[in-house]
Amino acid sequence: MLEGINVNLRAMEPEDISLISDWLNNVDFQGRYTPLIQRSKEEMKKRFGEISDDQKLFIIEKKDGSKIGIILYFIVKGGPYNLLEIGYYMVLSERKKGYCSEAVKLFIDFLFLSQAIKRIQATTDIRNQASRKVLEKAGFTKEGTMRKALYMKGDWVDISLFSILRDEWKESKILKF
């Protein structure tokens, strides 16, 4: 368990698959700026439930143990390099309360402290202001725009690429160890 100030991050367990599946198949939970995806519980289990160093999903919990969102990382494989990317979702009733910003800061601490990586990246629809603010508050810098990079809800959309380097992070902000 990664303990923050208002939220904790808990590595996903097999019994979380059902909830994760319900969340990720709900178009309101997906939000306006993520692709429309529907997967069976079996597909979710295959995608998130298999033990792999290439991706890991955590449940964002409040201090009372209630589950309020998801944060994950995955390795983008390509050419001579592997890039670590993060993604996150919050339940509607707990948005705009600062929980995601804290979860991302905590996750960045965890990733730089546990993985020998130089950078962490995130991509987001250029219109997704909430996601952009979450990243900027956690110290990410916008690297540029990937034009027409993602097919989403019937259209090709522009995606912002953000990153934070280990040198910019410097030290743990929230995670105590």
Ligand X SMILES: CC(C)(COP(=O)(O)OP(=O)(O)OC[C@H]1O[C@@H](n2cnc3c(N)ncnc32)[C@H](O)[C@@H]1OP(=O)(O)O)[C@@H](O)C(=O)NCCC(=O)NCCS
Closest approach of Cβ 80 to ligand X, in Å? Answer: 26
Work out how close the CB of 174 gets to ligand X at its nearest, in angstroms, rounded to a whole number. 13
Q: Which is nearer to ligand X, 93 or 116 (CB)?
A: 93
**Closer by beta carbon to ligand X, 58 or else 88:** 88
Instruction: Produce one character per residue of 112-146: b if its CB has 16 or more CB atoms within 10 Å, e if not.
Output: beeeeeebbbbbbbeebebbbebbeebbbeeeeee
In angstroms, give the least distance from the CB of 33 to ligand X.
5
The neighbouring-strand residues paired with 157 are 150
Supply φ then ψ for residue 32, to 5 degrees.
Answer: -75, -20
Minimum CB–partner distance for residue 57 and ligand X (Å)? 14
Q: Is the CB of 14 or the CB of 65 nearer to ligand X? A: 65
What are the φ and ψ backbone dihedral angles of 109, each rounded to 5 degrees? -55, -50
The CA distance from 131 to 134, in Å, is: 5
Closest to ligand X by CB, 14 vs 145, is: 145
Residues at the interface with ligand X (CB under 6 A):
31, 33-34, 87-90, 95-101, 124, 128-131, 133-134
